[in-house]
Amino acid sequence: MLFPARFELSACFGALFVLAMSLSGCSAGNGSEGRCATSTECSGGRVCLDGRCVRGGVPDAAVDAGRETDAGPDASVDANLPMPVDAGPCREVSAESTVEPVPVDILVAIDNSGSMTEEASEVQSNLNNFATILGASGLDYRIVLLSASRQTDAQGVCIPAPLGSGPPSCLGGPEGRLLALHVSVASRNAPDLMLANYPMYRDFLRPAAAKVFLWITDDESATYTADEFRAAMAALDPAGGFDHPIHNSIVGYHGDATPADWARAAAGACSSLARVGATYLRLSDCLTDANAPVPDCTPGRHAKVCEADWTPIFDEIARGVLAGVPVRCEFDVPPPPAGYEIDVDMIGVTYRTTGGAVAAALTRVDGPAACAAGGWYFDDPGMPTRIELCPEVCRTVQADPDARMDITLGCASLLM
């Protein structure tokens, strides 16, 4: 789901970061030695600061080995150890990371049979508006179009600029977002052609992009059922490219309260349909061939092919794409300040929701194979650059328009 929430990354530098620069003769890279309660538990001239042994190393003038203090008798225990000039409140560094959707590849198949002349004109008139809505949101999209060309077929389409080139070539526009394959789609073979032409558009698709389909026809698939088509697409290489597609359809049906209403004439008028597009409706509504819900499936939109004005239909499908495309579930680890290195064991991740309320304090796991409820992991445990959420957390975050992720990088004072 695309939403305007921002994940705020709060970084308190200190305990997370091990002093790695030269301070008054201490060599770079000499970091924390371990946990401590007082400096007597630290060796090698280190001091205990916020529970960790840290290299101090301040000029001798900053230390009065035998001075009295106002802190009481116990304060003299550390009197001969290097004292930090500034051991006050921890300093914080904050950054904001906009929640961005993953890229989306949209596959459109248009029935070019003789009964679809008016419908082809609606597609040609509205596809640029559709693309404009997607582009205005910042979505990184591409469109694959399977249809005959209007230059050779009255039921074909020729998408004008800026998305397409317009006549005479009727190909993609200068931005390279449209791949127009001039394939004549018959009344009942759109799924067949989507599979048969995969080698022609495979390289145009992006492995990490969400896949969205738009089926436009007044008829029904003759070869593939909904379950069969899902299985056929899932079997394509590379593996996983079509694991969670979102289907949309502009097809023939009467009513849509239940699947039984699709073909029930009394449920609504649709005079131009040839056959009820039950296969496409099941794909769009995340239903199996037996009309049972498909697990872990995001429904798309469906509309009647017999509607006179398709502008609101394309607007609704575009907004449905924006709502259905998942956001990224990975976040950059903010870099440490100069002279420090990250202590990965001190990173905490908290998921917050409406009003900043804590929804869950998440737990680090060893990697994607170890994912559990409420888990997250590093892209590279040795040298992490990203924090990635486990799938269950990711789905929860994607469904929450008020989601925010706080990534805390420790808290301690910087020695000077």
Cα–Cα distance, 31 to 26 (Å, whole number):
10
Quote the pTM value.
Answer: 0.65
Q: Counting beta carbons within 10 angstroms of the beta carbon of residue 363, is it exposed (0 to 12), middle (13 to 18) or buried (19 or more)?
A: middle
Q: What is the pLDDT of residue 394?
A: 84
* C-alpha atoms less than 13 angstroms from C-alpha of 41 in its C-beta half-sphere: 12
Residues of the chain with CATH 3.40.50: 104-324
- Packing angle between helix 117-136 and helix 311-324, nearest 10 degrees? 40
- Give pLDDT, residue 232: 97
pLDDT averaged per 10 residues, the chain (length 416): 34 32 29 57 62 48 36 40 32 42 92 93 92 87 96 93 95 96 97 98 94 97 98 94 94 95 95 95 98 94 94 91 79 70 76 81 91 90 86 80 73 38
3-state SS, residue 110: strand
What pLDDT shows up at residue 138? 81
pLDDT at position 75 is 39
- 332 SS3 class: strand
Note the pLDDT of residue 137: 78
Q: Is 365 helix (H, G, I), strand (E, B) or coil?
A: coil
Please state, in angstroms and rounded to a whole number, the distance separating the CA atoms of residues 254 and 76: 87
> Listing from the earlier edge strand, what are the strands of the sheet with 178-182?
178-182, 141-147, 104-110, 210-216, 246-251, 302-304
In this prediction, residue 49 carries a pLDDT of: 57
Strands 246-251 and 302-304, by their bridges, are: parallel
Whether the CB-CB separation of 145 and 201 falls below 8 Å is answered with no
pLDDT the model gives residue 83:
36
Find out whether 347 and 388 touch, Cβ atoms under 8 Å. Answer: no
What pLDDT score does 46 carry?
61
Tell me the CATH class for 104-324.
alpha beta
- Tokens for 241? 């490219």
Rounded CA-CA distance 18/343 in Å is: 7
CA angle 55, 57, 58 (to 5 degrees): 140
**Under a CB-based contact definition with an 8 Å cutoff, are residues 226 and 288 in contact?**
yes
Predicted local confidence at residue 319, as pLDDT: 87
Tell me, what's the pLDDT at 40? 66
Asked if 195 contacts 231 with a C-beta cutoff of 8 angstroms, the reply is no
Q: How far apart are CA 205 and CA 199, in angstroms?
A: 11
Smallest CA-to-CA distance from 403 within 351, 367, 361 is with 351
Q: What is the predicted pLDDT for the residue at 90?
A: 27
Give the pLDDT confidence score for residue 178 in this predicted structure: 97
